[in-house]
Amino acid sequence: MSIKIDRVKEYEALLDVYEKEGLDTSLFGDRIAAIIISGDKIIGLNNVSGVEIRGEEIEDGVRADVKIEDNVELHFPIHLCTGFLKNEGYQRVIFNITVGNNSKVKFLSHCIFPYAKDFIHDAYSKIKVGEGSLVIYEDEHIHGEGVKMISKTEVEVGRKGRYTGKFSLIKQRAKELKLEMSAKLADYAVTELTSKIKAIKDDSVEIREVLKLEGAHSRGNLKSTVIAFDNAKANVVNEAYGLGDYSKGHVECHEIVKGSADVQTIPLLRVRNDKAELTHEASIGRINEAQLMQLMAKGLTEDEAAELIIKGLLEGGNNLNP
Amino acid sequence: MLCLRGIHYSVNGKRIIEAVNMRFRRGMSYSILGPNGAGKSTLAYILMGVLKPSRGRVFLGETDITDLSITERAKLGISLLWQEPARYEGITVWEYLTLGGKLRVNKEELQRVLELVGLPYELYAHRFVDKSLSGGERKRIELASLLLLKPRYAVLDEPDSGLDITAGELIENVLNYFKETGTTVILITHHEEIAAKTDFAYFLCAGRLIKKGFSREVVEYYKRTCGRCFLAGMMRDEH
């Protein structure tokens, strides 16, 4: 990893946060293609064979172009780390990612704003997945109490390409979040967009997920899970468009409410091809009573049962296995 | 001993259970046998505290537990195998069986109970207890959970429903396991061959207790009489 000498301290401060949060610090190693951003500076950049990352410092932020060649299969994820270590300010990040044909890559995007009190993070990502390529993009956030976040991702998936996008903000407050993810699919392309968010106190969450099944036999799945406590507000809009012959889409939204939280979900399913098929599934409200009672019948209190159910919904059960 | 004393249960004026008395002694196995709509599952829910009787009391030994919550009863050693176990997204079989790590069990124990219910540990421990499991697999996991909890009283509501042809053997294994651990089994079923596997049986029909005794006797009586009175409306007069 090449780090400019005057930015070593910032680099080390970010590493400290990673360690404290239990994140994988080996992502900063030389074997990993990575760009490390802090505020409006690029403090580290590393390329590996088949991956070219170019960064440019712009006003209030960074623009980065990431190019993956054809037939590249990476054994380690590409690490996109965006940090902001001050209390207040504004940060703009633009990622332009192009994955060639028949490649297999995974991106790990970490947004680290641990001390933010009055901070706006504005991220725009454009991702192009080449024909027959497989791309996984995981977006994880470590926030302070006061982050206003605007995140917009546009994905184009080429013929027979696969894209999985996962956004999670479950460990800290969402505060103010506007999340928009859209995917346009070519023939036989497959996409899954998942978002998991926990909103507490007076947090405000807006999610819009859009699936455009343009290609024949394209398939897509939108899935959002929001847990809203206290006085939090959440508005989830899932849109799916069945356009291609034999395209198939499924939209799933689960929102659990506790306290005086105010949540709503709006599905929009539109078909303009009589060979397309879209389905929708939603649950909104308190935790399912049968789920609660059945865990209570094993000796858990209602709160313990609710905690286990919510943990499963948000974390997918990854943390407790032996 | 777990006792139901003078239990009545009504919903919107409709009597579901009428004056039912039952006793379940420690270490013995019982079946509550009866046709669909007899009120068997209602009794299971009353034992577990999911439903409160309209009249009558539930006793554990000399203690009146009628007003205790589900959790409190579970802590006293009463457990229920639900007829339709719930699905949990994002919770693995391992997490589910250990209640998110709250139940201290080692890998060997988990392996043993999963094998006992016919599920190889390697294939199932990391699967999610969600809709990706079939009804039969889910039921087997629920049985494994009950075995791990080592309850004093295990209420099994239709344990064979949703299971394949090996269900009889599986239930026999579970009964044997509970026999060894001294757990009282209360098995709810409408299948006489399953009921015959227990020590004693209660025959319930249209919410009333019709006959009690050794399983074989009660099952014989059930076979003789119940085929003729399938409709719940007819049952009361018939008996």
Phi/psi region, residue B149 (left: phi>0; alpha: psi -120 to 50; beta: rest), is alpha
Q: How far apart are CA B216 and CA B204, in angstroms?
A: 15
Q: For position B229, what pLDDT does the model report?
A: 57
**In this structure, are residues A110 and A143 in contact, taking their beta carbons and an 8 Å threshold?**
no
CB-nearest partner of B86 from A291, A299, A307:
A291
What domains can be seen in chain B, in order of their start residue? 2-238 (3.40.50.300)
Give B-chain residues touching A308 at CB under 8 angstroms: 88, 91, 95, 99-100
Question: How many distinct structural domains can be found in chain A?
Answer: 1
DSSP string, A232-294: -EEEEEEEEEE-STT-EEEEEEEEEE-TT-EEEEEEEEEE-STT-EEEEEEEEESPPHHHHHH
Return the residue matching tokens 């209030």.
A60
Distance from CA of B217 to the nearest CA of A (A): 32
Residues in chain B within 8 Å Cβ distance of A301: 71
To the nearest whole Å, the CA of A173 is away from the closest chain B CA by 21
**Contact yes or no for A136/A104 (Cβ under 8 A):** no
B17–chain A nearest CA distance, Å: 22
What are the distances in angstroms from CA A54 to CA A101, A122, A128, A142, B160?
Answer: 20, 19, 16, 25, 62
Report the distance separating Cα B187 and Cα B41, nearest Å.
10
What 3-state DSSP class applies to B125? coil
Q: How far is A284 from chain B (nearest CA, A)?
A: 15
Q: A281: distance to nearest CA of chain B, Å?
A: 13
Q: Do A301 and B101 touch (CB under 8 A)?
A: no
Does A321 reside within a domain?
no
Distance CA B43, CA B34 (A): 12
Q: What integer pLDDT is reported at residue B216 of this predicted model?
A: 92
Residue of chain A minimizing CA distance to B149: A298
Residue A37, domain extent: 5-315
Residue A78: in which H helix or E strand, if any? strand A78-83
Q: Do A297 and B70 touch (CB under 8 A)?
A: yes
Return the amino acid letter for A261: A
- Asked whether residue A193 is assigned to any structural domain, the reply reads yes
Mutate which: A194, A288, A294, A314, vs B, most B CBs within 10 A: A294
Chain B 73-112, residues with CB within 8 Å of chain A CB atoms:
73-75, 79-80, 82, 84-92, 94-95, 98-103, 107
B49-86 burial by CB neighbour count: b if 16+ within 10 A, else e? Answer: bbbebeebebebeeeebbebebbebbebbbbbbbbebb
- Does residue A118 contact residue A90 with C-beta atoms inside 8 Å? no
- In chain B, which among 190-219 make CB contacts under 8 A with chain A? none
- Which chain A residues are within 8 Å of B41, Cβ to Cβ? none
The secondary element (H helix, E strand) that includes residue A303 is: helix A302-315
Confidence (pLDDT) at B236:
45
Residue A95's Cα: distance from chain center in Å?
A: 14
**Cα nearest neighbour of A315 on chain B:** B90
Cβ contact A221:A252 at 8 Å: yes
| A75 close to A32: Cβ distance less than 8 angstroms | no
Q: Provide the residue type at A5 as one letter.
A: I
Pairwise CA distance, residues A136 & A119, whole Å: 28
Edge-to-edge strands of the sheet including A190-199? A41-46, A34-38, A78-83, A104-113, A134-143, A162-169, A190-199, A219-228, A248-257, A277-285
Contact across the interface for B149 and A299, Cβ inside 8 Å: yes
Provide the 10 A C-beta neighbour count for residue B227.
9
The per-residue pLDDT for A167 is: 92
Q: B48 — contact with chain A (CB < 8 Å)?
A: yes
Which positions in chain B touch A294 (Cβ < 8 Å)?
Answer: 82, 85-86
B100, A308: Cβ pair inside 8 Å?
yes
To the nearest whole Å, the CA of B96 is away from the closest chain A CA by 9
- Min Cα distance A305 → chain B (Å) is 9
Reading chain B (239 residues) residue by residue, the pLDDT tens digits are: 999 999 999 999 899 999 999 999 999 999 999 888 899 999 999 999 999 999 999 999 999 999 999 999 999 999 999 999 999 999 999 999 999 989 989 999 999 999 999 999 999 999 999 989 998 999 999 999 999 999 999 999 998 877 777 777 888 888 889 999 999 999 998 888 888 889 999 999 999 999 999 999 999 988 888 655 544 445 444 44
The ipTM of this complex is 0.91
Q: Do B91 and A308 touch (CB under 8 A)?
A: yes
Q: Please answer yes or no on whether A297 and B99 come within 8 Å at the CB atom.
A: no
Tokens of A12: 């080390």
pLDDT in tens, chain A (322 residues): 666 666 777 778 888 888 887 777 777 777 889 999 999 999 999 999 999 999 999 999 999 999 999 999 999 999 999 999 899 999 999 999 999 999 999 999 999 888 888 999 999 999 999 999 999 999 988 877 889 999 999 999 999 999 999 998 887 788 899 999 999 999 999 999 999 999 999 999 999 999 999 999 999 999 999 999 999 999 999 999 999 999 999 999 989 998 899 999 999 999 999 999 999 998 888 888 999 999 999 999 999 999 999 989 888 744 444 4
> Could you tell me how many CB contacts below 8 A there are between chain A and chain B?
84
